[in-house]
Each structure stands twice: as C-alpha cells, then as structure tokens.
Amino acid sequence: MSYQALARKWRPRRFADVVGQDHVVNALCNALQQDRVHHAFLFSGTRGVGKTTLARILAKAVNCEQGQQAEPCGECGSCQSVDEGRYIDLIEIDAASRTRVDDTREILDNVQYAPTQGRYKIYLIDEVHMLSGHSFNALLKTLEEPPPHVKFLLATTDSQKLPATILSRCLQFNLRRLDAQEIGGQLEAIVRSEGLSFDETGLAILSRAADGSMRDGLSLLDQGIAFGDGSVTGDEVRDMLGMIESHHVDAILLALAGNDGGALIDTVASMTERPIDYLSALDELLTVLHNVSLFQVLPEAVVAKQADSRIVKELASRLQKEDVQLYYQIGLMGKRDLPLAPDPASGFEMTLLRMLTFSPEEESDPSGDTGQSRVKKSVSSSNPPRKGTAKGVQLKKDSSHQAVTSKPMPRAEAIPGFSGVAENADSGTPAISEPAVWAAFVEASAFTGITRELAMNLCPESYDAKGRVLTLSLMPGLASMRSPSRQKSLEKKLEAFCGDSVRLEITENSNVSGETPEMLRLRREQEEKDQAYKTLMDDPAVQGLVSAFDATVVPESVTPGRQQRKRE
C-alpha cells in the first residue's frame, strides 16, 4: 500500500476533530441541529486552516444516511463516499483553473436537476475569488433564487476580491490562523499515535515554522520525519530548515548584553560552517527578545506560555528595557534590509553590529565602578546639527578603556553673556533657569536619542539656589521619555556645563512659562522659511515669471538654501 501523507491521513472527518475553529464549528452544529442550514456558505481564511475540510464535513452532515445531525456518522455509504472523494452529489470545483464564464455556465446548467443519492446537491467552489466578473454574474443568478435541493459552499483565501453582491447572499465564516500551541498539540498527538520518537523542541520549531497553517505543519512534520529517519528532534529540524542553533542565539544575545564585540563576531563566524537561513535566524533572535521584554513587564505571561527559560531570565536581569526594545526594532529593520545586502551573512552580521553600536542613551554601570563601567553607545540623532550645536565631539578610549571626549564640553562661562550660575542683575534669578540658556545648554551638550528628545521638550521654571534644584516643565504626553538614567545623564552634563552640581525636578505641565528648545527650533525654522520666501519673491526674475505665467508660488514649497543658512 502506498504511503499517505500525514496532511491527508489526519485530515479531520468530524467537527470534533477540527482544531482551533470552535467559533465556526459551534455555529454549523447549531444550524444542523435546528435544521436552519443556509443555502450558501463562505469560508475564508489563510491556507491550511480548514476551509474545504469544514465544507466537506458539512456536506456529509446534511446528506448523512442516518439523518441530518450535528455530527455525520462517518459509517454510512454517503459519509464514506465523501471521505473517498467519489460522492456524486458533491461537485468540487477549482475556481483557479475554471475561471471562464463558459465553465461556470456549464456547471450551473445542472443545478436544476435533483440530487442522485443524497438530500442535497452540493457545490463546493474552492478559491472562488479567482472567478471572472462574468462568472460571478452567472453564479449570482443562482444564488439569488437557488433550488431547494442545492447548497453552495464557497472557500477563499481573499474574500475582499469577492463582489459585495455575492457576499451579501452568503453566511460568512472567517477562519483564524492557528497559534503555535494549537499546532504543536496536534503534532504531538500525531507523532505519539504514529509511534515516532520526538522532543518538544523539534515540535515547537515546526509549529512556529507552520505560520498558522495546520496543513503546513503536517507537511513539515512529514519532511522532518524523513529527514530524521523516523524521529523529530530539535537539532534535526534546525538542520532541515537551515535555522540557527539555540546555543548560537544564546551566545549572540549574551555577547550583546556584555557589550562583547569579539564574542559576537566569533559566534557569527561559527554559524557559517552550516547552511543557515539568516531570515529565520533573525526570527529566532526576535522571538527570544520578545520573551525577554515580556518577562521584564509581565513575568507571569511568559511563565504561562512556558517561555521562561534560563536565557530569558538572565537576559531580562542584565539588559535594560530600552535596550531590548531597541534590539527588537533593529532586528525588524534587519529583516527588511536583508534582501538588499550583498549576501545574507553580511546583512545578518551588520544587523548585529547595529545592535552592538547603538543604544537609547549613555549611562554607567549601576555598580559605580567607573574603571569597569560599561560604556553605552549613543544613537545617532536623525536631526542634522543646527546653529549653536557643539560639533566635532568624538569618543575615543584611553588605556584603561574609559570613554573620554576629545573636546571637552564648553563650560557655561564660555557662552557669551553668561557667567556661571550667578544671578541676573535684573531679576535675581540664576541664569540657568532662563529658557534661552537651557536651550544653549541642550545644544552645547550634543545629547542623542531619547535623552535629547527629553531635553528638547523641557522648559526651566525656577531654581532653588539653596538646594541647588532646577525645576523644569515637560510638555504633556511625553512622560514616557522620563527615566532615572536619562535624568542622571542630564544632571551630569549640567554639572559640567555650570561648574556645580544641580539636581533636576521634572513635572508634566501644559502651561510652560517660556519656550522649550524644541519650540525655539521650530520657530527659527519657520523664520528661516519666511525669510527665504520673502527673498524669493523679491527676486526680479521670479517676479517676471509670476507675472508672465500668472503663476503662484506655494509658500510651503520654499526651503532655505545652503548659502542662506551659511550667511545666517
């Protein structure tokens, strides 16, 4: 006897065997029990989730020789004929190969005739969205006035392509994608029934690779059994799919957590010894990072999904929450850019180097040991330097591997008209509490990433000279930017700027007393645009063009040129 693929052998033959589609199964069973079976059903969903399977079970249920019931008996001649694909009153049509209107009319010409064996003649049209417009029109007439002995079961992977006139005449059931746990549970039941050896890791990998499709999961299981000579284990499945090994994932993430570039490159180099699907490798990294982030925020959720492995717990304690989010985002961007890389291996390596290089902010090791502190990298600001920004600040390392600046940040005294934290003659208020001075401090400090965005949206309100406390207002809706490490970074730079320690007190306030650096930047940009527009309109050549062609210059389209910015 020839071998039967698992996807065919284990195809559900009863509603109770269908996995993950309880919302559809319950509705169909209730309709059968109450004898309220509609004349047209539409099953939609991605591949391999049970559309045609449910349609065939429904066909058996309405034509079962034991009578119409919620579950077909599976023993009578009608049920067995449907299972074997030879039931004469079940007409299965592949719309993808029969799209012409003549094909549709030829099929529907026999609708008027009574069924040969069963109570109903059933038309099962798969991938119905592939029919032509004329074919839909031909089908619509029958759906509007169907004979009482006919049922239409339509299946599609893209219901949006169906005309509204067809959709309005069908009961629609949207089948959902199965999650990895549901697929894994079914795969485990199958391998146990087949008497095969397996481990949970192998089945878990196959369940994720199935991507929500039970049929794909069974096909991959078949492939895994053949590859592993009758067994399904994690190592064999990884080799079959060209996936990164779990110890490589652990080594990469631990190297990132320890800021160990050498270990990171060595791990990537060792991966080239076996065929790797680097897109899947990034998926593996993202899966672990997702579990790490979830463990940091909601540990019980990770325990519930049984993803609280040793590596997840260790990384959750060693990595900052912001780092995990950044690594995840860089990994997603790496997946997008991987097809554009010279080769997948270099694209994968470049993605990891981005994770190693960039970080949301700059902070020291919490232990306070500056000699052994981990130097965090700063994300390059997406905004170009503006007038007043300190340029040329670079990082280099001395013999003790501590980061030092090649050019020290300018002290407050270096700014014209500013003399440390001395009080202004007019108001008696320390100069650092003035919005203009705060803006100068932010520009001179060359903050990056989220820390810079936080500083740009702060406005000083008051300064307590006795306690050396500077109170600042934060624009509403930006409270998520605040963190103890970012505030510490601001205070550290402010101490270097003022020559004295200053503690910051930040409160969210919709009514700030002055301009934030961000407001100042936007105002200056608008002034530059207005000046550029005025300069352009004063140009005799432009005036001549406007007059000759009755033209209009759109103000929003005018941007300051390089020469104008240079003159300013």
Using one digit for the tens of pLDDT, what is the confidence trace for 155-173? 999 988 999 999 999 999 9
Q: Return all residues near 20 (Cβ < 8 A) that are at least 6 apart.
A: 49, 50, 176, 178, 179, 182, 214
What pLDDT does 310 receive? 82
* CA proximity to 307, closest of 176, 206, 180, 186: 180
What pLDDT does 447 receive? 87
Strand-pair partners of 174: 44
What pLDDT does 565 receive? 47
What pLDDT does 407 receive? 40
Rounded percentage of the chain residues whose pLDDT exceeds 90: 28
Greater confidence (401 vs 180) lies with 180
The Cα–Cα gap between 345 and 408 comes to 40
What pLDDT does 244 receive? 72
Chain segment 242-264, per-residue pLDDT in tens: 777 778 888 899 999 888 888 88
Greater confidence (108 vs 11) lies with 11
The Cα–Cα gap between 203 and 266 comes to 29
The Cα–Cα gap between 386 and 384 comes to 6
Rounded (5°) CA angle 415-419-424: 115
Record the tokens describing residue 87, joined without a space: 């039931």
Helix axes 321-337, 278-297, angle to 10 degrees: 160
User: Phi and psi (nearest 5°) for 153?
Assistant: -120, 110
- Phi/psi region, residue 550 (left: phi>0; alpha: psi -120 to 50; beta: rest), is left
Which of 140-149, 391-400, 455-464, 492-501 has the weakest average pLDDT? 391-400
pLDDT band at 359 (very low <50, low <70, confident <90, very high): low
Helix axes 278-297, 344-357, angle to 10 degrees: 30
User: Which H or E element spans position 30?
Assistant: helix 22-33
User: Which H or E element spans position 471?
Assistant: strand 469-474
The Cα–Cα gap between 82 and 490 comes to 73
What pLDDT does 99 receive? 66
The Cα–Cα gap between 247 and 245 comes to 6
Average pLDDT over residues 453-462: 90
Q: Tell me 131's DSSP state.
A: S
What pLDDT does 271 receive? 83
Query: Any idea which residue has 């079970």 for tokens?
Result: 57
Q: Is the pLDDT of residue 413 over 70?
A: no
Average pLDDT over residues 271-294: 87
Average pLDDT over residues 282-303: 88
Average pLDDT over residues 360-384: 40
The Cα–Cα gap between 295 and 70 comes to 43
Query: Any idea which residue has 């005739």 for tokens?
Result: 113
Q: Is the pLDDT of residue 384 over 50?
A: no
Domains, the chain: 6-174 (3.40.50.300), 180-241 (1.10.8.60), 246-357 (1.20.272.10), 412-515 (3.30.300.150), 527-567 (no CATH)
Q: Return all residues near 51 (Cβ < 8 A) that are at least 6 apart.
A: 43, 44, 45, 126, 155, 156, 157, 175
Please classify residue 149 by burial: count the beta carbons closer than 10 Å to its beta carbon, then call 0-12 exposed, 13-18 middle and 19+ buried.
middle
Q: Which long-range contacts (CB under 8 A, 24 or more apart) does 562-565 make?
A: 564/528, 564/531, 564/532, 564/535, 565/387, 565/528
Q: Is the pLDDT of residue 57 over 90?
A: yes
Please classify residue 53 by burial: count the beta carbons closer than 10 Å to its beta carbon, then call 0-12 exposed, 13-18 middle and 19+ buried.
buried
